[in-house]
Amino acid sequence: MAAKAGLPADFEWGFATAAYQIEGAVAEDGRGKSIWDTFCHLEPTRTKGADGDVACNHYHRFEEDFDLLTRYGAKAYRFSISWSRLIPLGGRDDPVNEAGIAFYNRLIDALLKRGITPWVTLYHWDLPQGLHDRYGGWLDVEESQKDFERYARLCYERFGDRVKNWITLNEPWIQSIFGYSTGGNAPGRSSTNEQSAEGDSTTEPWIVGKALIMSHARAVAAYNQDFRDTQQGQIGISLNGDFYEPWDPEDERDHAAAERRMQFHIGWFANPIFLKEDYPACMREQLGARLPAFTADDFTVLRAAETDFYGMNYYTSQFARHRDGPPSPTDYVGHVDELQQDKAGTPVGEESGLHWLRSCPGMFRKHLTRVHALYGKPVYVTENGCPCPGEDEMTRDEAVDDPFRIRYFDTHLDAVCKSVKEDGADIKGYFAWSLLDNLEWSDGYGPRFGVTFTDYDTLERTPKKSALLLKSMFAQRQGIEVVG
């Protein structure tokens, strides 16, 4: 490859994972149940028969996994903490599990020993089941934010002497919509999903969204007030969201639809968190009173929650086409059609191993540039990756040869460089998803996003070619000479 310099020498890069997807050991050393433990064991299955009881057994094999990080040349590692491993019942007055604290201390120290920077996500969808049973979990805006603040403070107190990079929440949009509108993720509440016995898709996702926004704000405000001066860290949030272009570039209604879809996807959370203002006007217009209002006290907390960076989880892009007539009461996309081909039949990108994910590096660049311009914060790409076409049916020897993933990473890193060099965006880091093939939530153990092949029978790890090439991809773009 030709030299592609464009990233600073201190650009942070590494790999990302989430606790429930890799840890296993769900009933060991005092860990309490999470909503995903419950959801994965529902009958009939909602996760293709899969669960996280063992997963990749990272709980017992993290040293081996961190040796892989060293081999791959990673500078940083993003992982999440299991709330119910630290506070089994979850609440602010519930007992702390010291065995859980000890596990994450070992994990953090093992990273630092290898010279790898820890990036900690406080919440990656695994709400303690105890809080869901006690008061409905995220459906109680006031109680949930107080319990999340206590959990966050515990993490700062016990780990903040060594952890300097915090992410409060991972993809609150997914938690709100898939957990409380479609019912496809835990806790599986929905009034449109025939498998769900409880839920109201017209109201619950918007209540949960506010609970997550205020929980983020409480956690950041606590850090800013009581920990920042001594610990000298930074704190942000990871938001998911596709980039959208108009299905018909000649139709202004489709241009408006594309913008509206991104506001429903990203502005929902980013506007209150980064701009300290109400939800996007298009959301308020469509949803009315179903969108919970922010009080004066809420805005006081939001203003105290100055957030350092925007964590971007990006996988793909789409075309948006306007819809005529009134929106459905259960619509959550902004009254648009989401399409993978435009009016001329041109596909948005090359197909991957999942129907919804196409490789769209050009739109990724636009997305990076747009988000930085709108919200004015440094951007860290906290997730980006793909499964290869047909990879879920491949043997290990076939899967480790992953040219599609290599091409995906290469073109998406080019997009980062162009956004930085040509568009002036401030992009400070990149985490590939994921270090290991793992439990892909409701998709079970089918899609393989890992740069490391996991044999789910033996749990043997085998590096894929992409894992061994990322170091040189970054070195080229940082103007660093790779030795060996």
Task: Identify the CA nearest to 168 among candidates 197, 148, 194, 188.
Answer: 148
The answer to whether 212 and 177 have CB atoms below 8 angstroms apart is no
Torsion of CA 177, 182, 187, 189, to 10 degrees: 110
**171 in active site:** yes
Q: How many helices and strands (H and E) does the chain possess?
A: 18, 15
28 is catalytic: no
DSSP state of 128: B
Given 171, 204, 391, 440, the catalytic residue: 171
Q: How many CB atoms lie within 10 A of CB 133?
A: 14
Which residue among 149, 383, 391, 440 is the active-site one? 383
Helix (H, G, I), strand (E, B) or coil at 48: coil
User: What is the Cα–Cα distance from 25 to 45, expressed in whole angstroms?
Assistant: 21
72 neighbors 468 (Cβ within 8 angstroms):
yes
Give one DSSP letter per residue of 278-347, joined into a string: PSPHHHHHHHGGGSPPPPHHHHHHHHH----EEEEE---EEEEEE--SPPPTT--SSSEEEESB-TT--B
Nearest residue to 354 via CA among 342, 340, 365, 368: 340
Which phi and psi (to 5°) does residue 71 adopt? -60, -35
| Active-site residue list | 171, 383
